[in-house]
């Protein structure tokens, strides 16, 4: 088993108050932080991430999504509800069919940036 190394830390403790003040400014909107954490948590679950990746290029019905990710319609439907509640996916009805797609381009950009980060590693 690979041993996990601890992160390097400073040998002395000196606090730069101006840098801390700037850092804290990014932490002021607690509601926004919780919403961001929820999105990352949703995308951190492999089944939901597979759904998002499947929808990047085209809309799919629930049956197609289930087949694409090797899951059940029931499971995919449950995950889609969570993604829809977070406004990451949207749906449209066509007769008896329901088609899902990415809600907006932000999620596509996020996925692209994560892929670029991985490829640069």
Q: Quick: pLDDT tens for 90-120.
A: 999 999 999 999 998 999 999 999 999 999 9
Cα angle, residue 112 at apex, residues 73 and 118 outer, rounded to 5°: 100
**Can you give the pLDDT at residue 3?**
80
Kindly report the number of other CB atoms within 10 A of residue 70's CB atom.
8
What is the fold of 29-120? Arc Repressor Mutant, subunit A (1.10.10)
R_g (Cα) of the chain, nearest Å: 20
Tokens of 25: 């400014």
- What are the residue ranges spanned by the domains of the chain? 29-120
**Can you give the pLDDT at residue 2?**
74
> Cα–Cα distance between 55 and 66 in angstroms, integer?
12
pLDDT tens figures, 63-76: 999 999 999 999 99
Give pTM, 2 decimals: 0.85
Tokens of 67: 């087949």
């Amino acid at each position: 088993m690979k041993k996990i190394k601890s992160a390097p830390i400073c040998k002395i403790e000196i606090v730069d108050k101006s840098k801390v003040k700037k850092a804290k400014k990014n932490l002021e909107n607690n509601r926004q932080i919780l919403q961001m954490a929820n999105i990352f948590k949703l995308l951190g679950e492999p089944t939901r991430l597979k759904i998002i990746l499947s929808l990047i290029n085209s809309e799919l019905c629930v049956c197609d999504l289930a087949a694409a990710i090797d899951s059940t319609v029931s499971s995919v439907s449950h995950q889609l509800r969570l993604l829809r509640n977070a406004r990451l996916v949207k749906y449209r009805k066509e007769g008896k069919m329901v088609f899902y797609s990415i809600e907006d381009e932000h999620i596509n950009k996020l996925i692209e940036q994560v892929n670029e980060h991985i490829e640069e590693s």
